[in-house]
Structure formats: C-alpha cells, structure tokens
Amino acid sequence: MKVVIVGCGRVGSGVAKQLAVQGWDVTCIDEDEGALARLGEWRGGFVVGHGMDVDVLERAGIAEADAAVVATNGDNTNVVVGQVVQRRYNTNCVVVRVLDPARAAFYAERGLRTVCPTQTAIGTLIDVVRSCEPTPVGTG
Amino acid sequence: MYAIVAGGGKVGANITRSLLAMGHEVTLVEQRRDRFEQLEAELGPVVLTGDATEIFVLERAGIARPPDLVLAVTGDDEDNIVIAQIAQDGYEVPKVVARVNDPRNQAHFDLLGVTRTLCATSGLLGLVEHEVPEHGLVKLLELRREGLEVVELSVSPEAPAAGKRVAGLSLPDDVRLVSITRNGVAEVAGLDTVIRPGDQVIAILKPGLEDRLRKALVG
C-alpha cells in the first residue's frame, strides 16, 4: 500500500514514520529539504516542493497512491490540496488536517475527510475537567 | 448592491474605492494589522480586520445576508479558493469572483468549482501577445462558464483566406468570425465579407479549435 504525505512537520513526519514501520510505502513532500531530518533513518521517498504543484504531487507518486495525508501548517493549503488530490487523482483515502474547527466542519460536510486537532483538544480538556467534578453522594 | 471584498492589497483597496464611489455598500476585510489601520484611516468603518478564511470573520462581514458579490482578492491562491468556496457553497452568494495570483493554479480553481476568476499575469500575457502576435492567434477573452473564447488573428498576404469570402472558408462548426478590422475600421463579419491581407479578424469559438481556425484562416 502506498501513501503520500504532504507536509513533513511534527504531524506529517510522525504519521510517515509509523506507517513506514507498519509496512507502507511512504513518500513525503515538504517545501523545506531540512524536514527530511525529522524522519531519521529514512528509506521512503521524499520530494522537495509545494503540494499545490501537480508536478511535485506526481513525482511523489500520487497517481498510484492508495492514501494521502495532507498536514502542512496551513489550513487553507490543506483543504485545497486535499480536494485537488481527491478530484484530480481519485485517490481513495484522503485525510486532511484542519486546525480551525469551523473550517474542518464546513469541509467535512462537503465530503472531505478532515481531522481537527483543536476540536480533539477541546473535547479532551472538557472531559478531564469534568472528571474532576466530585461524584454526587447519597442521591440514590 | 452589497459586496464583501476579501484582501486589502492594491487590488482589493482600489476595487473598494471604486465600488464605494459608485454608491455601493462594501465591507473590506484585511488581515494584516498595519495595513488594516492604514485602510481604516482612509475608508473608515467599511474596513474590518480579520482572516477572511475564518467563517466567523465572514459572518461579521455579513456573509449570511448574503451579499450580492464576494471578491476573493488576497495575495494567496489557497485563501482565495477557500473564501470563494465558503461564499458560494456555504452561503449561496450569487456572484463570487476570485483572483488567481499564480496562473499555474488556474486549474485548481477550475477543478474546485471556483469558476469566475481573474488572473492579472495571464491577462498581461494576453496583452503582450496582442502587441506581439507570435503565434498568429491571440486570446482576447475566455468565457470559462460558457465554454467559449474570443480570439484575434492577423491575415498575411500568403494566408489561404486572403481574398476569400467568409462563406467560402472551411471553418469548423463551432467557430464564427465576429468582425474584421481593416485600416483601423471594424465591421461585423457576414457571409459575404471578403477577407483581405492585413485584416485583423476576431472570432468566437469553443476552446480546442484554435489550430483548425488558424489553419483555415492564416495557414
């Protein structure tokens, strides 16, 4: 199985390394050549360039990819690149990181698989605070 | 008319000035603090600070009314696509126009349903070609939504069309000659119009037929 990861920052590189360990054929794309250092001993592919550039996507093998993860540090870049990959290459599984919960919800309603770390953090923080509430006593 | 202009650079600021001068209601959204202060000092409360790709900012600008027109003219193509998609798909704004900063991104705008676009670079390139017609055929206008384009050609003395009537040309079905300009005077082209060397011919056609039109007219 082949996956292309657009944006090799903390999130992208982390996903790349774990999927590679699990046997995926992984290629990362990042504008910064230095991002390769985040991957450690890397046997997968790495293409320097911007995800908006279809030549870069194609050099990374997007046309043959089973999945794509779009996780640059720009929400708008991610939703645009995600939609381009989905529509232009009919990639089966495209997942996009969107930090803004409102934009994540907007694009999720329109068929893009979005992951919103902000929303996850909000939910987790609320759960932790609520777990600190004293348990009601003698209500039975 | 009510318009939201996203992006207060030179393009957005000038469009806002013009729309205001025409008596329209406008909200201009600018993200950079220093630029916002400059614009606010000049234009007053029509300027709003914020990131126009954030839905709550667009809502503060009145996207839910909805406006008659949204112009996404920031210097970032991804931002312009997102603003246009939110306006047209989320709020059913009847007319949305987006600026294409990098002409290489035009295909992305088309693919993602942002059909009304303006690209200064492509426009300038068209003007350059208009002055220096290297390929014998210059695109004057692309009607993307309609799937048509308007082009201009120069007829040289050795062109196969020189001296022929329009009716006698073997033009493809989806091509019509619109006008012929001779010595600076234009006239609407009819079937009996005779084409002369040196004429500037304007034609309307479906994209993809440029080569066949060129062969039929200028060889």
Residue B183 CB burial class (10 angstroms; 0-12, 13-18, ≥19): exposed
Q: Does B114 touch chain A (CB under 8 A)?
A: no
Q: Are strands A67-70 and B2-6 parallel, antiparallel or unpaired?
A: unpaired
Substitution target from A76, A81, A87 for chain B, most B beta carbons within 10 A? A76
pLDDT band at B132 (very low <50, low <70, confident <90, very high): low
Which phi and psi (to 5°) does residue B144 adopt?
A: -60, -45
Angle subtended at Cα A110 by Cα A104 and Cα A114, rounded to the nearest 5 degrees: 35
Alpha carbon of B49: minimum distance to chain A alpha carbons (Å): 18
pLDDT tens profile B181-193: 998 899 999 989 9
Average pLDDT over residues B108-125: 87
Average pLDDT over residues B207-219: 86
Minimum mean pLDDT range among A100-104, B94-98, B170-174:
B170-174
Which residues does chain B have within 8 Å of residue A83's beta carbon, measured at their own beta carbons? 111-112
Average pLDDT over residues A15-37: 97
- Looking at residue A68, the DSSP 8-state letter turns out to be E
Task: Find out whether B179 and B187 touch, Cβ atoms under 8 Å.
Answer: yes
Alpha carbon of A80: minimum distance to chain B alpha carbons (Å): 6
Alpha carbon of A15: minimum distance to chain B alpha carbons (Å): 24
Crossing angle (nearest 10°) for helices A75-89 and B77-85: 80
pLDDT at residue A140 is higher than 60 = no
pLDDT value of position B133: 56
Substitution target from A80, A91, A106 for chain B, most B beta carbons within 10 A? A80
pLDDT value of position B216: 86
Taking CB atoms within 8 Å and a gap of at least 24, the contacts of A49-54 are: A51/A6, A51/A7, A51/A77, A51/A81, A52/A77, A52/A80, A52/A81, A52/A84, A52/B77, A52/B78, A52/B105, A52/B108, A53/B104, A54/A84, A54/A88, A54/B107
- Amino acid at the residue B24: H
For residues B115 and B54, which has the higher predicted lDDT (pLDDT)? B54
Residue B205 CB burial class (10 angstroms; 0-12, 13-18, ≥19): buried
pLDDT value of position B87: 97
Average pLDDT over residues A109-125: 96
Which residues does chain A have within 8 Å of residue B86's beta carbon, measured at their own beta carbons? 106
Substitution target from B85, B86, B88, B117 for chain A, most A beta carbons within 10 A? B85
Q: Among all residues of chain B, which has the CA nearest to that of A109?
A: B90
pLDDT band at B131 (very low <50, low <70, confident <90, very high): low
pLDDT at residue B10 is higher than 60 = yes
pLDDT tens profile A45-94: 999 999 999 999 999 999 999 999 999 999 999 999 999 999 999 998 99
Q: How far apart are CA B99 and CA B72, in angstroms?
A: 6
Task: Find out whether A6 and A12 touch, Cβ atoms under 8 Å.
Answer: yes
Contact check, Cβ <8 Å, A103/B107: no
pLDDT value of position B135: 58
pLDDT band at B146 (very low <50, low <70, confident <90, very high): confident
Contact check, Cβ <8 Å, B78/A80: yes
The two counts, helices (H) then strands (E), for chain A are 5, 6
Nearest to A76 among B78, B89, B111 (CB): B78
Which residues does chain A have within 8 Å of residue B81's beta carbon, measured at their own beta carbons? 76, 80
Phi-psi region of B176 (alpha: psi -120 to 50; beta: other; left: phi over 0): beta
pLDDT value of position B157: 81
- Amino acid at the residue B206: K
Q: Is this prediction's pTM over 0.90?
A: no
